[in-house]
Chain A
Amino acid sequence: MTCQPPVTPLKAKDYKSQIKPVWCPGCGHFSILSAVTKALAHLALSKEQTALISGIGCSSRLPAYTDVYGFHGVHGRALAVASGLKAARPDLTVLVAGGDGDGFSIGGNHFMHACRRNMDMTYIVMDNEVYGMTKGQASPTTAPDWTQSKLTPHGTGVPSFNPAAIALATGASFVARGFSGDPKTLTQLLVEAIQHKGFSFVQVLSPCTTFRPEQKNWKHEVHDFSGEPTQNSAQAAHNIHVDGGMGVGIIYQAEHPVWEPTPSATHTVDDLNMGFSL
């Protein structure tokens, strides 16, 4: 007879792997990693029943630094991999992480359709308004007049992308914004996002100290989101535009139809064979 060890609740550090992050000192992503593991511990999620999917970029390194099943795919396709996984394995808790370039530029189409599809997963975008891994180019969320990139020396001249507004407009059922410099609130937002049934989008403002040192100032600019959490999408849209982009909190949460496959094994393969027989 074997003696079962007592089940001890997992701590946040139990969800961290042994691999040392490649991130620069001071990077906001460290706190996000920490908040993710705290949220998992808070929810007492089984490590082997959880999967964290990412694409390419500084933030997309996240899966390797956590001790859950991970998939580090190609640039921009994290939501597609995650959607396939969730469709095939609805029993898993699926988290997706990535950056603003990965999610809103090369992966923009998947972002819209993942919001529409409203599968039950949580998408964390670690937004620093810059491509860090390729050493400092403008991303979709970069302001049009940012001239520090050699690629766009006059600035992009293109209005920046509004992630929360797009998520709302395309059907996400949970829209929130967090800040890496406020890990306590962020952890709480992530807990709510994971618990929400449907597609949860959490934009996390995460300063890039290397290519956007001015973002160190964000800690003075963020504030509680100016509107109350609402399930009224028109109100939420209004709040997003009034707030200005630095407000932290739940913006929108509602019940939308969740896309989930409904297989029911009523036939054998031989039944299908017989369908072609004369």
Chain B
Amino acid sequence: MNSMHTSQTKTYSVAIIGSGGSGVVTTGQIMLKAIANAGFYGLMSRSSGPQIRGGESAAMLRIGKDPVTCLDDRFDILMAFDWLNSDRFNDEIPLGPNSTIIRDPDAGDIPQELLDSGAAVIDAPLTALSKEIKQGRVNMAGLGFISDLMGIPKEAIQGAVEDTLRRKGPEVTQAAQSCIEAGYHATKTDSTIEKLPAIDNPNPRWNISGNEASGLGAVRGGVRFVAAYPITPASEILEWLAPNLEKVGGSLLQAEDELASVNMIIGGSFGGVPSLTATSGPGLSLMMEGLGLAVTSETPIVVSNVMRGGPSTGIPTKSEQSDLNIALYGFHGDAPHLVLGALDIQDCCFTTQWAVQLTEELQTVAIVLSDQSQGQARAVIDPPPEATAAGVRITAPADSEDYLRYSVTDSGVSPMAIPGTPGGIYTADGLEHNPKGTPSSMAGDHQVQLDKRLRKIVDYNYQDDWAVTRGEGENVIVTWGSSSGASFEAAERLTANGHPTKAVALRLLAPLQIDRLLAQLNGAKRIVVVEQNHSAQFFQYLHANQVLPGEARSLARPGPLPIRPSDIVTFMMEDF
């Protein structure tokens, strides 16, 4: 069985590798800009070793006429600036007989494992070319070479170089342009690599990373205060927010640790300002007590958690969907809250915005799960849609008579007095309390407040945004987060090959929309649950909520390798 690569339009997958300082990531970023200039969509994922600077790194691109949300099964082109530690990427950059390796004869021999793939080899004298140019760089010569090979218009590359390197000054930019020019003229014409088609009248598109999209979603949702502690792979959210929050009248505070950051945003939100923090697994672990405080005191906050390999320090630079359990169950006590998962880079914006709106409206906590593979990846996308929940916090008017902060209402949401409001004075409390907010250890108060905090989030109508469903068929793939792109593509391939398949990607993970999900699974003959973690956390969760029949199967694999469409197709086909 082949991988059934029948996606409607062809995509192009390119990997660039090299050791530290060789400019791999810059090359990938310029290439992504260039294909954007030429009218394409694209995705650039990156992988690096554990070194802060100087380790080996890889830029992995997929380019298409339509939006791309996952890496492909194999790479069409691998360009290497050198082969030092290149074996670390053997699993991440699969090649096949249709692949082409571009190598610089001055950079040594290609490792045998790569040649065993059957890939063709093209020599590119990148070192020699760049030596002839003052301040010449191998990576820019390579960029010219590969661009010519792929048929990326020269002006698209030149514009991208200018745009990226301008801040480094005219000399650097000129040297890069000369290298690109030299690379362009050095290509042989007998390559079998298919040229990119021309795109007429391209759609308006954006160039954005997943972490930037999360930051933008926060601002769109109304967040104007952020406190956070730096952590890989979430820091780019904060680095984008720091200057941009100020521009819209907000602020960011760098906290001393994650215990502080979560409590700081509780303080900001208590003050009436929508607040968010961003972190990754170890930070989320430290925040759990504070999150319970926000649940009990009904102070709306959002945590954007960009997952990495865990537990403990784990694999900080690489991706895994293994924080679902802590997001769902990490709280002590009964602490109803929202858990959402962003489906791709574009959706980081929508889901974060929606999470802010929901927490404001419901005065609760949301944990938004993203991961390294989308947070630190960059894509050319359609502009992200706006989330459309009301997103307005219900506040207490001035001079309310006998104001009760935690009054028992039908919806479960009680008007919140914002400091500064006359007649609204109360003390927010993490102790269980009565409707006024006075600490209480009475069974009746506990029951009433627990019911209220649960009711407000389970009775809410999340509309159609709870999931994205694509395709129809008796085979159903159920997934979440960054596994969604590969799942959608797998469903498309299976359907095109006579096995009608639907993929359901949940955006709202808690409260689980059981009836809606059951409706999607109605009539399914085969169900596969796809996720990137070792213990099948999502599969177990769905079982615990009794939404899966006994025959449902789990495709769960830990990071850091992405789950590719062919993995899902092959797994599904085992059951046919």
Interface of A toward B, CB cutoff 8 Å: 19, 47-49, 51, 53, 63-64, 67-74, 76-77, 80-89, 91-92, 109-110, 112-113, 261-269, 271-273, 276-278
Contact = CB atoms under 8 A, between A and B. Distances in A.
Given A80-B264, A278-B206, A272 B271 contact: no
A71 B416 CA distance: 13
Given A67-B425, A70-B427, A272-B247, A81 B206 contact: no
B224 interface: yes
Interface stretch (B6-14, B86-94, B251-259, B520-528): B251-259
15 contacts: A48-B419, A48-B423, A68-B425, A70-B428, A72-B430, A73-B297, A76-B259, A82-B267, A84-B271, A88-B268, A92-B420, A263-B249, A268-B248, A272-B248, A277-B205
A71 B294 CA distance: 11
Nearest to B417: A69
B36 interface: yes
A83 B253 contact: yes
B219 to A, nearest CB: 6
A194 B383 CA distance: 49
Contact of A64 (B205, B252, B273, B427): B427
Smallest CB-CB A-B distances: 7 pairs: A84-B267, A70-B427, A261-B251, A84-B264, A265-B249, A80-B263, A88-B268
B29 to A, nearest CB: 14
B293 A74 contact: yes
Nearest to B222: A269
Given A80-B259, A87-B227, 5 more contacts: A49-B420, A63-B427, A88-B251, A110-B256, A277-B383
Contacts of A51: 271, 419
Nearest to B225: A88
Given A263-B250, A278-B207, A69 B426 contact: yes
B485 interface: no
Which residue among B247, B249, B290 has the maximum number of chain A CB atoms within 10 Å of its CB? B247
Contacts of A19: 438
Interface residues of B, number: 66
Contacts, number: 189
Contacts of A269: 219-220, 248
B248 A265 contact: yes
Given A84-B265, A109-B256, A48 B421 contact: yes
Contacts of A109: 256-257, 259-260
A81 B263 contact: yes
Interface string B240-282: 0000111111111101110111111111111111010000000
B429 interface: yes
B223 to A, nearest CB: 11
B274 to A, nearest CB: 9
B266 A81 contact: yes
B425 A48 contact: yes
B35 to A, nearest CB: 11
Given A265-B248, A272-B244, A278-B37, A70 B426 contact: yes
Contact of B260 (A80, A89, A265, A268): A80
Interface of B: 36-37, 204-208, 212, 216, 219-220, 224-225, 227, 244-253, 255-257, 259-273, 275, 289-290, 292-293, 297, 380, 383, 417, 419-431, 438-439
Contacts of A84: 225, 227, 253, 263-271, 275
Contacts of B207: 276, 278
B264 A81 contact: yes
Contacts of B380: 278
A58 to B, nearest CB: 13
Contacts of A272: 216, 219, 244, 247-248
B427 A264 contact: no
Contacts of B267: 53, 71, 80-88
A88 B224 contact: yes
A113 B263 CA distance: 14
Given A48-B419, A277-B206, A271 B247 contact: yes
Nearest to A19: B438
- Which of A76, A84, A91, A113 has its CB near the most chain B CB atoms (within 10 A)? A84
Contacts of B263: 73-74, 77, 80-81, 84
A64 B439 contact: yes
B256 A113 contact: yes
Contacts of A271: 247
B357 to A, nearest CB: 14
Nearest to B264: A84
A3 B225 CA distance: 40
Contacts of A265: 247-249
Contacts of B272: 88-89
A83 B267 CA distance: 7
- Residue of B207, B262, B264, B421 contacting most chain A CB atoms (<10 Å): B264
Contacts of A113: 255-256, 260
Contacts of B417: 69
A77 B219 CA distance: 26
Contacts of B427: 63-64, 69-72
B271 A89 contact: yes
Given A262-B246, A269-B248, A72 B431 contact: yes
A68 B252 CA distance: 26
Contacts of B262: 80
A264 B244 CA distance: 10
Contacts of A277: 204-206, 383
